Amino acid sequence: MTVSTFILKNALRNKRRATLSVLSVAVSLFLLVTLLVGLRELTLPVEDAGAALRVAVRNKISIANLLPARQRPIIERIDGIDAVTPFTWFGGKYKNEESMTFAQFAMDPKKLRYIFGEAKMDQAGYEVFESERNACVIGRITAEKFKLKVGDKFTLESTVYPVTMDFKIAGIYSGTADDRNMLFRQDYLDESSGVDGMVGMWWLKVRSAEDMPHVLEKVNKAFENTSAEVRAETERAFQLSFISMWGNIRLLVMLISSAVVFTLLLVSTSTMSMAIRERFRELAILKAIGFRRRELFAFILAESFGLAMAGALIGVGGAYCLFTFGDVSKLTNGLFPYFEVTPKIVGIGVSVAALLGIVASIMPSVAAAKMSVVEGLKTLD
């Protein structure tokens, strides 16, 4: 019998316990990877090709405060800006659902292809969107979720404005970092809601990255000391500031992850201690025939490490396959378009498993080292 076979037979001696140990590690690491990926998606929003040149302009007091539409010509005169569009949150509910399942924004239809150029849609869709009053465009993910197609009509009841509006799908776009949103005409919202002359925020396209600092400064200064001061920031900064409104979500996720790892460590240590205690007699015999303490420690470490890495293979590998090849949008009910299990996250999961295997073997190894041959032979007689 080889050393490897000896270790494997010891690890699988109690198959039920070995299976439960591996599964407990696998489930815990799957949860850990899921938490880390979710945290990454929340705190590191995905960016598309045009994000570096886009600017969000909102009310300085709060994003919920509207801005006067008369600001637009002032912004358009600022050097370095290629396009400007209002971008107003509608907050509509689809088919009397209890909550909003996709975001809707009102904008200038003629600016869609200039500001959000990465949104790919056929030419007919752009033309209908620009010409028909009740036209809208929706993302591919939303269209697939609700089985919508070009030409379909539907109604949205707003939770922000006292109005229910009818829409006709002019086109379905794709190619953005998040193909879920719906876009419709700002003038249609003005007419239907009666709130003419006010917009939610402004969305700008800057000519080049070099113009970005200048544009941000000029836009902010243009409305200083007015009744509607603004805060201009890059799309990236706007995303992060919006996420920060949810509170310290990073701390919450890290606390949950720490609790998962700590609980798993206790379970693994207890399981290994139980397994080694049942084999004190055999360990005493190995000592009696000449095996040294470091060799016994190596046997215990290899067994513990092997079970932990088997759990990592199932848990981390399962999470990677599910999130990489599965439909994350359906799994999360549209909350996330996709999950990216990065090499760093995989490395964290495997490292936790390795550390777990090492730490879980320490206490049983110390107990085996302190045990005398005579005490070991008496233990399970």
Q: Which of 161, 158, 45 is nearest to 103 (CA)?
A: 158
pLDDT at res. 304: 81
**Ramachandran region, residue 218 (left: φ > 0; alpha: ψ -120 to 50; beta: rest):** alpha
* Tokens (6 digits) for 271: 């399981």
Q: How many CB atoms lie within 10 A of CB 3?
A: 11
Report residue 32 CA to chain centroid gap.
13
Per-residue pLDDT at 243: 64
Intra-chain end-to-end CA distance of the chain, in Å: 25
Amino acid, res. 23? L
Give the residue carrying structure tokens 């569009």. 85
Q: Which helix (H) or strand (E) holds 74?
A: helix 71-76
What local confidence, expressed as pLDDT, does residue 272 receive?
A: 77
Is the whole model's pTM more than 0.85, yes or no? Answer: no
Helix (H) or strand (E) holding 328: helix 328-331
Output the tens digit of pLDDT for each of the chain's 381 residues: 565 665 666 656 667 877 888 888 899 899 999 988 888 777 665 555 567 789 999 999 888 899 999 999 999 999 999 999 999 999 888 876 666 678 899 999 999 988 988 888 999 999 999 999 999 999 998 898 888 999 999 999 888 888 999 999 999 998 887 788 999 999 999 999 888 889 999 999 999 888 899 999 999 999 998 989 999 998 877 877 766 656 567 777 888 888 888 888 888 887 777 766 666 566 666 666 666 766 767 777 777 888 888 889 999 999 999 888 887 767 766 566 667 888 999 999 999 999 888 888 887 777 666 665 556 555 544
pLDDT of res. 184:
96
Distance CA 36, CA 66 (A): 36
What pLDDT, on the 0 to 100 scale, is given for residue 146?
A: 87
Comparing CA positions, the residue from 378, 374, 367, 380 lying closest to residue 293 is 367
**Cα gap 103→179, rounded to integer Å:** 11
